[in-house]
Amino acid sequence: MDQVEIFKALSNKTRLQILAWLKDPEFSFPEQAVHGYADGVCVGQIQLKTGLTQSTVSEYLSVLQRAGLVTSTRKGQWTYYKRNEEAFAALSQLIQSEI
């Protein structure tokens, strides 16, 4: 776990918002209920909710993925993202023990 990468990823308000939405995707992205949430949330849905360009949202998600905070699954032309809850558990332990 690269602590610097994690804290850099968490230093952006929109990235924090994306992580909050992905914590409860059923509530945050009800329009995706038809397809389910097993693979995560489609990047297009995240982009619509942020109101930012697709390239900006993709960059934000890449930063979160490099930090290990989200995982992605590709299905055809679509990419789905979900939180890596194991990383959040490890981060919580790190904060409690070292900082």
CATH number at 13 reads 1.10.10.10
Name the 3-class secondary structure at 36: coil
Domain with 13, as residue range(s), is 3-98
For residue 64, CA distances in Å to 8, 34, 50 come to 9, 26, 15
pLDDT in tens, 66-77: 999 999 999 999
pLDDT above 60 for 89: yes
Average pLDDT score over residue span 24-48: 94
Q: Is the entire prediction scored with pTM above 0.85?
A: yes
Q: What pLDDT shows up at residue 4? A: 87
Q: What pLDDT shows up at residue 57? A: 97
The residue whose two tokens read 């990823």 is 9
Q: Which residues is 75 bridged to in the sheet? A: 78
Average pLDDT score over residue span 84-95: 90
